[in-house]
Amino acid sequence: MNMSRSRLVALAAVAAGVATAAVAVPAGAAVSLQSESPPAATLNLGGKARLDANGAVVFTSVSLTCPRRAEGYLRVRVTQAVGNAIASGESDTVTVRCTGSEQRFSLSVSPTQRPFRKGVAFGRAVADVCPGPCETTVDEHNIQIVTK
């Protein structure tokens, strides 16, 4: 099978063009889809919680940034070793109308069995952000329970 040099060059050019188009189209499509996707939600649990009512409640600070027009469901859980027992509680779920900008909240957490006390505790904030498939974002770490 003998091909002329000019036919071989033309065939190579066509093959290169097809390969370039095959690579370029999916990449362009991915960029387009990515630019239309809303940014992911960000959640930050503060490093301190304020003790009040003789340990019957702590107030935690939380900030949430989520895509405009989405809705978020925010809750916080605090757990603390108190002697040989555990003090723990969870806030009620707060519904948030997302603005696309950072929003700050103070959520109250009441313990279920033992009162909280000043000192180290573990905090866990969870935000479920919808519409479409809901996305769950978590921030958890040690926090310091302080008095005013």
- State yes or no: pLDDT of 54 exceeds 90: yes
The CA-atom distances, in angstroms, between 5 and each of 2, 8, 10, 87 are 9, 5, 9, 83
Q: Average pLDDT, whole number, for the chain?
A: 83
Confidence of residue 16 (pLDDT cuts 50, 70, 90): low
The CATH code for residues 42-147 is 2.60.40.3930
- CA neighbor of 120 nearest in space, from 48, 53, 62, 56: 48
Which residues are registered as beta bridge partners of 136? 128
Tokens of 34: 């990515």
pLDDT value of residue 74: 96
What is the distance between the alpha carbons of residues 125 and 145, in angstroms, rounded to a whole number? 15
pTM: 0.72
Q: How far apart, in whole angstroms, are the C-alpha atoms of residue 93 and residue 72?
A: 10
Judge whether 138 and 91 are in contact, CB under 8 Å. no
- Among 147, 142, 90, CA closest to 118: 147
Which range is least confidently modeled, 9-18, 59-68, 80-89, 119-128? 9-18
Write down the pLDDT at residue 7.
Answer: 54
